[in-house]
């Protein structure tokens, strides 16, 4: 902790006094009022603390609400169509879904929602199906290098979800949808901003039986005689979501925001044999208070201070031993308190950013059958980061060095051995320093070059450190994963005055990740699992994306990702194998046409070459899906009709967990 205090003092001294020479040369400019202090760009959606996407050298994708509004989709379905993004899901709409960026694991991707970190210390990756799409205004995907605006980052990158924000006046809307497998969706929102204060309420309800047809091989894949077609059993879910926001503008530069989001989901958990009766109930509440104070002091700082509280209650029932080993009925309670401070200093030559945050998270498991309740474990995570974006040669070159320092202190008391006995508690702590640098060169208005180099760490989760429910053994000796990311590429965005071709955009990026002490799960002859640091890995690949606008009514979009995820294992037989759960080739082509108030689209998505297991003995089938849809906007009424996987192909992202074939959905949305 002594080193941590010294580092913090050094940062503050550098921040407040290290820029004196620069400030001296800018005194005259400051007197003339040339410094922009309240916003970096003319964008009404920008708030202090947001990433300036016009300046960052990081590779990113932004998905606006208009691209998915009025559709029967969830968050996983929306982002899986982007280059470098892969989704694995255990079934249909509402099923367990995780994201991978550029060959990373789901644990290595940080998920933020309105600046609140959604990744738990308990681990396992964020289930995207537990984030309602009806609240989402936009989705930012940062692959590899992560802007310092996000205090916590990892090897894969960040998915940043922004919920809808208040607009001037009175706005309201309602929506309803219905589709295959008795899927129903109801949503509505109201926003009122008459002047200084504003409020917004958004709510939605989504449910589905998910009783699509599957082929059950009865656990004997080599014997086709006992195969039978039947309905998917116990995959139903019901989920509710309510978002409330209140804000008040004290003046032009000072504002307070209060936000609360409540989420509840009850779902069945199917198994291989399609006979499961297990369930999982999830309840989550996130509350935040944010103070924005801009144009402070002689340096004209813009600041945002945020306090948050997260509570999550998960109840898992498998009293008939349909999924796990033995009868189970457990409750898992996660609570997290956090505070964040963001400050930026803007001049005509650079943007200096300071970010500080601190979280305290507790994890409390309860065995509701045996009555043996392990003590709660906890993790403290203070951190600090700085980033400077220096703009040179009349905005042609931007150099962005940055670093993060994060300190982790764990008290692990929740471990249970395979026989149900409590393990000794362990305390451990360590800090990690992660530098990064990015360059952005724009020699022409329509041509941009970007390159980034960065180093990240991922500390082991509680699940990996102390196991889970007796059939997964903890390992207190696990080391943190260390990753070094590199990427380089160029972007073209050319507007063409031509009757045939109106606009052309393209992006080509080479990326590479080298990961040491990769955490891998191994199993013994009894089926008992354990996480160990047995290997390193390298992931190399290339992303391609392009869009052309033809005439005034036609648009063609396509992307491809080709990657080589290789396991460099210390265990004989695994070295040189492909990392499991990663498609080596993914493609997407989408055609859209608009005419008056009508819009028609068709898209083709293909995923190829994936193994389910580390030994590369189980290869997944190559996937190809075709989706089509049509929508009609009449005044404030939007009607949409979609057909997904129209060729009725059947695939499994997870071995033994089939996804739906063809499905159809209709939705209506009306804005007042």
Is the pLDDT at 6 greater than 60? The verdict is no
Cα 641 to Cα 44, 70, 185, 271, distances in angstroms: 32, 9, 14, 32
- Structural domain includes residue 441: yes
- Structural domain includes residue 14: no
Q: What's residue 19's pLDDT?
A: 40
- Structural domain includes residue 603: yes
CA 446 to chain centre: 29
Quick one: pLDDT band at residue 511, thresholds 50, 70, 90?
Answer: very high
Side-chain half-sphere CA neighbours of 135 within 13 A:
26
Q: What's residue 36's pLDDT?
A: 37
Instruction: Provide Rg for the chain, Cα atoms.
Output: 25
Burial 493-503 (b: 16+ CB within 10 A, else e): eeeeeeeeebe
Beta bridge partners of residue 187, listed in sequence order: 175, 204
Quick one: pLDDT band at residue 44, thresholds 50, 70, 90?
Answer: low
Domain count, the chain: 1
Is the pLDDT at 11 greater than 50? The verdict is no
Question: By the 8 A CB rule, do 186 and 193 touch?
Answer: no
| 596 C-beta neighbours (distance < 10 Å), count | 8
Question: By the 8 A CB rule, do 665 and 180 touch?
Answer: yes
Q: What's residue 224's pLDDT?
A: 74
3-class DSSP assignment, residue 466: helix
Q: What is the spatial distance between Cα 150 and Cα 148, in angstroms, rounded to a whole number? A: 5
Token pair 């291989």 is found at 272
Residue among 248, 160, 163 nearest 201 (CA): 163
Name 62's Cβ contacts closer than 8 Å, sequence gap at least 6: 53, 138, 139, 140, 141
Question: Per mean pLDDT, which range of 309-318, 412-421, 430-439 is the poorest?
Answer: 412-421
Beta bridge partners of residue 351, listed in sequence order: 346, 389
Q: What's residue 547's pLDDT?
A: 95
Quick one: pLDDT band at residue 112, thresholds 50, 70, 90?
Answer: very high
- Structural domain includes residue 60: yes
Q: What is the spatial distance between Cα 578 and Cα 61, in angstroms, rounded to a whole number? A: 27
Instruction: State both tokens at 51.
Output: 């990433």
Report the pLDDT averaged over residues 192-203.
95
Token pair 């028609």 is found at 600
3-state SS of 603-632 is EEEEEECCECCCCCCCECCCEEEEEEEEEE
- Structural domain includes residue 20: no
Instruction: State both tokens at 61.
Output: 């994708």
Question: Per mean pLDDT, which range of 37-41, 343-347, 516-520 is the poorest?
Answer: 37-41
Q: In degrees to the nearest 10, what's the CA dihedral of 199, 61, 206, 637?
A: 70
Q: What is the spatial distance between Cα 23 and Cα 598, in angstroms, rounded to a whole number? A: 55
Token pair 């082929």 is found at 215
pTM metric for this prediction: 0.89
Burial class (CB in 10 A: 0-12, 13-18, 19+), 125: buried
Is the pLDDT at 143 greater than 50? The verdict is yes
Residue among 239, 328, 315, 238 nearest 276 (CA): 328
Is the pLDDT at 2 greater than 70? The verdict is no
- Structural domain includes residue 2: no
Is the pLDDT at 414 greater than 70? The verdict is no
Is the pLDDT at 46 greater than 50? The verdict is yes
Quick one: pLDDT band at residue 524, thresholds 50, 70, 90?
Answer: low
Q: What is the spatial distance between Cα 453 and Cα 359, in angstroms, rounded to a whole number? A: 27
Is the pLDDT at 444 greater than 90? The verdict is yes
3-state SS of 487-526 is EEEEEEEEECCCCCEEEEEEEEEEEEEEEEEEEEEEECCC
DSSP conformation letters of 181-196 = GGEEEEEEEEEEESSS
Residue among 150, 78, 137, 164 nearest 111 (CA): 150
Q: What is the spatial distance between Cα 507 and Cα 591, in angstroms, rounded to a whole number? A: 18
Q: What's residue 598's pLDDT?
A: 94
Burial class (CB in 10 A: 0-12, 13-18, 19+), 642: buried
Instruction: State both tokens at 439.
Output: 């360059």
Q: Is the dihedral of CA 461, 465, 466, 469 positive or negative?
A: positive
- Structural domain includes residue 22: no
Q: Which domain holds residue 65?
A: 35-671
Question: By the 8 A CB rule, do 257 and 115 touch?
Answer: no
Residue among 513, 517, 401, 418 nearest 460 (CA): 517
Q: What is the spatial distance between Cα 211 and Cα 181, in angstroms, rounded to a whole number? A: 6
Helix (H) or strand (E) holding 647: none
Instruction: State both tokens at 349.
Output: 């030559």
Q: What's residue 368's pLDDT?
A: 87
Instruction: State both tokens at 302.
Output: 């813009």
Residues of the chain above pLDDT 70, percent: 88
Is the pLDDT at 10 greater than 80? The verdict is no
3-class DSSP assignment, residue 7: helix
**Average pLDDT score, the chain:** 87
Cα 257 to Cα 8, 287, 289, 438, 531, distances in angstroms: 28, 11, 6, 32, 42
Q: What is the spatial distance between Cα 608 and Cα 611, in angstroms, rounded to a whole number? A: 10
Quick one: pLDDT band at residue 32, thresholds 50, 70, 90?
Answer: very low
pLDDT in tens, 576-622: 899 989 999 999 999 999 988 999 999 999 999 999 988 898 899 99
**Could you tell me the CATH number of the domain that includes residue 510?**
2.40.170.20
Q: Which residue has the higher pLDDT, 21 or 55?
A: 55
- Structural domain includes residue 13: no
Residue among 95, 92, 129, 96 nearest 212 (CA): 92
């Amino acid at each position: 902790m002594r080193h941590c205090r010294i580092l913090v003092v050094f940062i503050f001294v550098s921040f407040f006094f290290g820029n004196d020479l620069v400030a001296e040369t800018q005194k005259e400019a400051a007197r003339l009022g040339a410094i922009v202090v309240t916003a970096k760009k003319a964008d009404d959606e920008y708030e202090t603390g947001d990433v300036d996407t016009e300046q960052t050298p990081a590779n990113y994708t932004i998905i606006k609400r208009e691209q998915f509004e009025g559709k029967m989709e969830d968050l996983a379905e929306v982002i899986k169509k982007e280059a470098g993004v892969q989704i694995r899901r255990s079934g249909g709409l509402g099923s367990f879904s995780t994201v991978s960026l550029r060959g990373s694991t789901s644990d290595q991707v940080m998920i933020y929602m309105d600046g609140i970190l959604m990744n738990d210390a308990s681990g396992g990756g964020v289930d995207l199906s537990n984030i309602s799409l009806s609240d989402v205004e936009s989705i930012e995907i940062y692959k590899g290098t992560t802007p310092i605006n996000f205090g916590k980052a990892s090897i894969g990158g960040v998915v940043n979800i922004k919920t809808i924000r208040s607009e001037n006046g009175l706005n309201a809307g309602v929506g309803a949808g219905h589709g295959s497998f008795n899927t129903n969706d109801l949503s509505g929102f109201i926003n009122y901003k008459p002047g200084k204060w504003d409020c917004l309420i958004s709510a939605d309800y989504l449910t589905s039986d998910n009783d699509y047809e599957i082929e059950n091989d009865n656990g004997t894949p080599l014997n086709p005689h006992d195969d039978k077609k039947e309905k998917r059993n116990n995959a139903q879910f019901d989920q509710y979501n309510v978002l409330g926001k209140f804000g008040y503008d004290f003046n032009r530069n000072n504002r307070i925001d209060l936000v609360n989001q409540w989420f509840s989901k009850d779902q069945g958990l199917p198994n291989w044999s399609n006979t499961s009766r297990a369930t999982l109930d999830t309840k989550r509440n996130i509350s935040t208070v944010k103070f924005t104070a801009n144009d402070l002091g002689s340096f004209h700082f813009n600041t945002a201070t945020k306090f948050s509280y997260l509570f999550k209650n998960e109840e898992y029932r498998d009293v008939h031993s349909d999924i796990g080993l033995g009868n189970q009925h457990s409750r898992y309670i996660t609570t997290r308190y956090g505070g964040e401070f963001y400050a930026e200093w803007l001049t005509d030559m650079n943007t200096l950013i300071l970010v500080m945050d601190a979280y305290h998270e507790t994890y409390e498991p309860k065995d509701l059958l045996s009555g043996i309740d392990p003590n709660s474990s906890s993790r403290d995570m203070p951190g600090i980061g700085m980033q400077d974006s220096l703009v040179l040669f009349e905005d042609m070159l931007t150099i962005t060095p940055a670093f993060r320092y994060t300190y982790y202190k764990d008290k692990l008391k929740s471990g249970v051995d395979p026989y149900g006995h409590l393990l000794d508690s362990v305390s451990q702590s360590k800090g990690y320093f992660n530098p990064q640098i990015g360059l952005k060169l724009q020699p022409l208005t329509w041509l941009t070059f970007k390159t980034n180099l960065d180093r990240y760490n991922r500390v082991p989760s509680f699940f990996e450190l102390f196991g889970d429910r007796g059939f997964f053994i903890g390992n207190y000796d696990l080391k943190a994963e260390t990753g070094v990311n590199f990427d380089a590429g160029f972007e073209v965005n050319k507007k063409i005055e031509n009757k045939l071709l109106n606009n052309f955009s393209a992006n080509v990026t080479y990326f590479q990740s080298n990961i040491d002490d990769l955490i891998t799960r191994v199993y013994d002859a009894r089926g008992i699992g354990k996480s160990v640091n047995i290997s390193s890995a390298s992931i190399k690949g290339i992303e391609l994306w392009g869009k052309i606008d033809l005439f005034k009514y036609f648009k063609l979009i396509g992307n491809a990702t080709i990657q080589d995820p290789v396991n460099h294992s210390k265990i004989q037989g695994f070295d040189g194998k492909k990392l499991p759960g990663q498609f080596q080739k993914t493609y997407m082509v989408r055609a859209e046409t608009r005419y008056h108030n009508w819009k028609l689209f068709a898209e083709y998505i293909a995923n190829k070459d994936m193994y389910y297991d580390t030994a590369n003995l189980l290869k997944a089938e190559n996937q190809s899906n075709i989706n089509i849809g049509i929508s009609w906007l009449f005044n404030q009424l939007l009607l949409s009709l979609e057909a997904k996987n129209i060729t009725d192909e059947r695939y499994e992202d997870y071995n033994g967990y089939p996804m739906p074939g063809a499905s159809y959905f209709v939705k209506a949305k009306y804005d007042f």
